[in-house]
C-alpha cells in the first residue's frame, strides 16, 4: 500500500519495533536530555508516543514532518499507482499526479522546520518522520542544495535510526543512516 498521507495506525509488529527502538535508544543515550518532534500522521505519532513515554519526553507534533502527499494515490496499492501514474518523476520538481506534492514541495515545507532546529539551543533532538521526508532532511543537514536529490539519495527506512552530529567547529556529520538494528528485541 502507498503510505504517503494514508493515516493508518501502527501494526502489532510496528508497535513492537517502536518499543524496541525506544528501549535501545534509552540504553544508548542514557541520561541525556532530548527534545522529540514528530509528524502528525498516526504511525509516526504512535512511534513518537512510545519513544517519548520510555524517555520521559513529550513529542511536539509538526506538519512539516509529514510524508510527501501522492495525491490520488494515497491509500491505494502500489499496483494501482503503477497502472495509473500520470507523470513520471524524473526530477525533484515533478509530481506523479496533478494533486500530489513534488519532492521540492516537501523541501519547501520542511525548510522552516530545519531552520528552527538549526537555530535553537537544544543539543539533542529526536525526529520521528517518514522515509522521503527524512531523505530531504539529511540532504539539508549536510548543507547540500535540493537539486542534488536528482542524482543522489540519503533515504530513511522504516524503523531506521540515524544519528546526525554537529561538531563544536560546526562540521555536520551523519554518523549512522537508517540503522535498523534498533528494531531488534532486547
User: For 124-179, what is each residue's pLDDT tens digit?
Assistant: 889 999 989 999 999 999 999 999 999 999 888 888 999 999 888 989 999 999 99
**Is residue 168 in a domain?**
yes
Number of domain units in the chain: 1
**Is residue 144 in a domain?**
yes
Phi-psi domain of 55 (left: phi exceeds 0; alpha: psi -120 through 50; beta: other): alpha
Q: Could you tell me which of 50, 49, 60, 57 has the C-alpha nearest to residue 32? A: 57
> How far is CA 166 from each of CA 12, 137, 143, rounded to the nearest angstrom?
35, 14, 12
- Mapped to the 3 state alphabet, what secondary structure does 53-119 carry? HHHCCCCEECHHHCCCCCHHHCCCCHHHHHHHCCCCCCCCCCCCCCCCCCHHHHHHHHHHHHHHHHH
pLDDT confidence of residue 124:
86
Domain housing 160: 12-65+105-183
Q: Please tell me the distance from the alpha carbon of residue 144 to that of residue 15, in angstroms, as a whole number.
A: 34
Question: Is residue 31 pLDDT above 90, yes or no?
Answer: no
Neighbouring residues of 145: CB distance < 8 A, sequence distance ≥ 6: none
**Is residue 36 in a domain?**
yes
pLDDT confidence of residue 96:
95
Question: Is residue 1 pLDDT above 80, yes or no?
Answer: no
- Specify the pTM: 0.90
Question: Which CATH number do you get for residue 121?
Answer: 3.40.50.1240
pLDDT confidence of residue 33:
83
Average pLDDT over residues 24-38: 87
Amino acid at each position: 500500500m502507498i503510505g504517503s498521507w494514508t493515516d493508518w495506525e501502527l501494526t502489532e509488529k510496528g508497535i513492537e519495533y517502536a518499543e524496541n527502538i525506544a528501549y535501545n535508544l534509552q540504553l544508548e543515550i542514557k541520561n541525556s536530555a532530548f527534545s522529540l518532534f514528530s509528524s502528525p500522521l498516526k504511525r509516526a505519532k504512535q512511534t513518537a508516543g512510545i519513544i517519548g513515554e520510555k524517555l520521559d519526553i513529550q513529542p511536539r507534533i509538526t506538519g512539516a514532518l509529514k510524508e510527501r502527499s501522492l495525491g490520488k494515490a494515497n491509500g491505494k496499492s502500489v499496483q494501482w499507482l503503477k497502472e495509473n501514474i500520470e507523470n513520471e518523476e524524473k526530477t525533484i520538481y515533478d509530481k506523479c499526479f496533478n494533486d500530489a506534492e513534488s519532492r521540492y514541495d516537501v523541501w519547501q515545507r520542511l525548510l522552516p522546520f530545519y531552520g528552527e532546529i538549526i537555530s535553537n539551543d537544544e543539543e539533542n533532538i529526536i525526529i520521528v518522520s517518514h522515509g522521503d521526508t527524512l531523505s530531504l532532511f539529511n540532504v539539508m543537514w549536510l548543507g547540500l542544495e535540493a537539486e542534488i536529490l536528482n542524482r543522489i539519495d540519503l533515504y530513511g527506512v522504516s524503523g531506521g535510526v540515524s544519528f546526525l552530529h554537529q561538531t563544536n567547529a560546526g562540521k555536520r556529520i551523519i554518523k549512522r543512516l537508517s540503522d535498523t538494528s534498533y528494531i531488534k528485541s532486547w
